[in-house]
Amino acid sequence: MQEGSKTSSSGEIARIYIEQDLISDPVALKIMGKLPSAKVIPIGHYKDVFCRPRQQYEVQRQHRSLIIARNTGRLIYDGAPMCQDFGMENFSYANSLMNCIYDCDYCFLKGVYDTANIVVFVNFEDYKKAVEEKLAQGPLYLCISYDTDLMALNGLCGLCDMWTDYARDKEGLTIEIRTKSAPSHFTVSDHIIYAFTLSPDEVIARYEHGTPGLGSRLEAVRRALDSGANVRLCFDPLMKIEGFDEIYNGFIDRVASEVDLGAVRDMSVGTFRIPADYLKRMRRNCPMSEAAWYPYDNKDGVCGYEETLAARMASQVMDRLCRYTGKEKIYLWD
Ligand code: SF4
């Protein structure tokens, strides 16, 4: 799905739950104005809907609902050990959206939440205050598209624009916006990194449902670079598919031929991995997911491909990339 679209691959958002004291909130009104045919249902607290027991994940993912809420809990979290921080201290993430409009088979969110519905927190001013508090302790590297693909819902919620407007001149703050979408507009600032996840079309078709194809993503990468924005390329997660060597070699060759890798800020490479408890929940929520049922190895509570296989997959992609760019630009997750 492209940036700005109101629909998922599997249907338009037909229902909006909104915390009743937000009915006249300007951001909430703007969002509701973009979904004029959606049924609006006032609620007390977003968790009444989002966290209710016995939800039917498979049904919800066909018809996601949007829940408009105020986050009165934690706004910024310290980064998990599994997440790369590209050497930044105070690596953190903010969850101004929870869940995603896309439907990647392997998405860890399927193991975090028992619902496919999406929560949007509209109290952005509170997030800014939380950032200021963090910044008082030192530079802050903040992933704003962590529990979601924030850019994919920017056309509807506008949260990505709010973050980039805020961060563009903010001393000490760097935000990373990770996306599989194909946006058209970028904010040029040393404080903002656009991190594009790239996969071969074979992997996109099989696992990354509802996301733009590789051609659209590469066009977006070129637009970002042409505009002077900071670009990161994420070859992560690498997925084991039949014909891996040929498919990934061709993929890297295509990326290198269509994108000026010299202009890219950095890249990351990593094979699929997921905390074991998330995988267990993902299997329960999405029993039809092929990615969920692969017989992964469990190493210290993290499930992934068998060690030698994972190392071979990653080194093959690294080696291919190194035909076109310096190794020092690539962060290898292992
Ligand atoms: S784009 Fe990211 S957050 Fe969204 S479903 Fe795919 S893996 Fe999950």
- The full set of domain ranges for the chain reads 75-332
**Hey, whose CA ends up nearest to atom 6 of ligand 1?**
104
Architecture per CATH, domain 75-332, reads as: Alpha-Beta Horseshoe (3.80)
* CA pair distance 267, 255, nearest whole angstrom: 12
Question: What whole-number percentage of the chain has pLDDT above 90?
Answer: 87
Mean pLDDT for 16-28 is: 98
318, pLDDT greater than 60: yes
Cβ-Cβ contacts under 8 Å for 221 (sequence gap 6 or more): 196, 198, 231, 233, 259, 264
CA 106 to ligand 1 center in whole angstroms: 8
CA 108 to ligand 1 center in whole angstroms: 8
The residues pairing with 198 across neighbouring beta strands, listed in sequence order, are: none
What pLDDT is recorded for position 81? 56
Cβ-Cβ contacts under 8 Å for 320 (sequence gap 6 or more): 248, 249, 252, 253
138, pLDDT greater than 80: yes
CA 209 to ligand 1 center in whole angstroms: 9
* CA pair distance 324, 328, nearest whole angstrom: 12
What pLDDT is recorded for position 63? 87
Residue with tokens 């045919």: 37
What pLDDT is recorded for position 276? 97
What pLDDT is recorded for position 79? 79
**Hey, whose CA ends up nearest to atom 2 of ligand 1?**
149
Q: How confident is the model at residue 3 (pLDDT cuts 50, 70, 90)?
A: very low
Distances from the Cα of 104 to the Cα of 1, 14, 68, 206, 225, angstroms: 12, 21, 23, 9, 26
Cβ-Cβ contacts under 8 Å for 162 (sequence gap 6 or more): 124
Pocket test for ligand 1, best of 60, 82, 104 (most atoms within 8 A of CB): 104
Question: What whole-number percentage of the chain has pLDDT above 70?
Answer: 93
Q: How confident is the model at residue 282 (pLDDT cuts 50, 70, 90)?
A: very high
